[in-house]
Amino acid sequence: MPLPAILERLRLPVIAAPMFIVSNPDLVIAQMRAGIVGSFPALNARPASQLDEWLHRITEETRCGVPFAVNLIVHKTNARLDEDLKTLAKWKVPLVITSLGANTEVNAAIHNWGGIVLHDVIDDSFARKAIEKGADGLIAVAAGAGGHAGRQSPFALMQEIRAWFDGPVALSGAIACGRSILAAQAMGADFAYIGTPWIATSEANAAAAYKQAIVESSAADIVYSSLFTGVHGNYLRPSIAAAGLDPDNLPQGDKSQMDFGSGGNSDAKAWRDIWGAGQGVGAIKAIEPVATRIETLLAQYQAAKRELPGRIDAR
């Protein structure tokens, strides 16, 4: 199946993942101007009326032919869903990333204004349900992804999805360098879905200490826990310790207290106090502008493409 036309205009096959608190208009605009899909969670715009202001600004400042995406939490705990959906319809948002609950009515509403729905999934059963309910494409969230992440290897997850689905797929999970973007394509993905590298950028809405922690961390500093939101996610060990918790002895989260926006299972709140990050964090060595980071990713990606035939032939 050919890709939607709006997804063929990218300099690099990358969709920037929407990150709670961190993703804001400055970050999205910089990502789009540098040639990748920028995105943000609708819930980052607070109060809800700010969402209209953000979409107006992004639309006016990015007439570059590159699309942006807004993430909607499609879960009963999201009291803003209907209101946010109406605002997205007003601006005819080209891409909507839906999470935590595939919904036929929501997908139909997005299609009514010509939008494309990408639903994030952590296994093949969720992927099938998403497509059955009208999603146009999938975001395969594999092990090692920052924030809410799955448990499965990207090899297994992509293998099962591509056995039956030929539509758009973005792969998430520890992708932080250009070589990994090419590897995602080799596994069958159309795009790499990247989050953590954007935290340590000038434009990101992250505390200076958070950005520095990204630069100083490695994969060994990532802790997988359900405590903070009720759903398993990957977080930076130093932020957990700073909250007075033992990263190696965290209790299980209470699913009945799920709160995807700020955390509902401990005094320390996810995203604000407990910082999300993926296992690819070790590739990030500096805090720099988005444009600089994308140029580096592009150079690495192109170099990997040039080197690959020689590596294969040498075998």
Residue 271 covered by a domain? yes
State the total domains in the chain.
Answer: 2
Same-domain pairing of 46 and 117: yes
Same-domain pairing of 164 and 303: yes
* Cα 80 to Cα 88: distance, rounded to the nearest angstrom: 12
* Cα 113 to Cα 55: distance, rounded to the nearest angstrom: 15
Residue 20 covered by a domain? yes
Same-domain pairing of 41 and 66: yes
What's residue 308's pLDDT? 86
Same-domain pairing of 98 and 168: yes
Same-domain pairing of 188 and 236: no
Same-domain pairing of 237 and 226: yes
Same-domain pairing of 34 and 178: yes
Same-domain pairing of 131 and 169: yes
Domain region containing 223: 208-279
Neighbours of 155 (CB within 10 A): 12
Helix/strand/coil for 104? helix
In this structure, are strands 147-148 and 38-41 parallel, antiparallel, or unpaired?
unpaired
Residue 285 covered by a domain? no
Residue 18 covered by a domain? yes
CATH number of residue 11's parent domain: 3.20.20.70
Residue 93 covered by a domain? yes
Same-domain pairing of 34 and 170: yes
Residue 57 covered by a domain? yes
Name residue 97's beta-bridge partners: 71, 118
Omega of the bond leading into 41 within 30 degrees of 0 (cis): no
* Cα 132 to Cα 102: distance, rounded to the nearest angstrom: 9
pLDDT by residue, tens only, the chain of 315 residues = 678 888 888 999 999 999 999 999 999 999 999 999 999 999 999 999 999 999 999 999 998 889 999 999 998 888 899 999 999 999 999 999 999 888 999 999 999 999 999 999 999 999 999 999 999 999 999 999 998 889 999 999 999 999 999 999 999 999 999 999 999 999 999 999 999 999 999 999 999 999 999 999 999 999 999 888 888 899 999 999 999 999 998 888 766 555 554 444 456 667 788 999 999 999 999 999 999 999 999 999 999 999 988 777 665
Of residues 227, 214, 170, 198, the one with CA closest to residue 13: 170
Same-domain pairing of 189 and 295: yes
Same-domain pairing of 130 and 255: no
Same-domain pairing of 113 and 135: yes
Residue 76 covered by a domain? yes
Residue 284 covered by a domain? no
Q: Which residues of 71-110 are buried (b: 16+ CB within 10 A; e: fewer)?
A: bbbbeeebebbeebbebbeebebbbbbbbbbbbeebbebb
Considering the entire predicted model, what is its pTM? Answer: 0.93
Q: Do 137 and 3 form a contact (C-beta atoms < 8 A)?
A: no
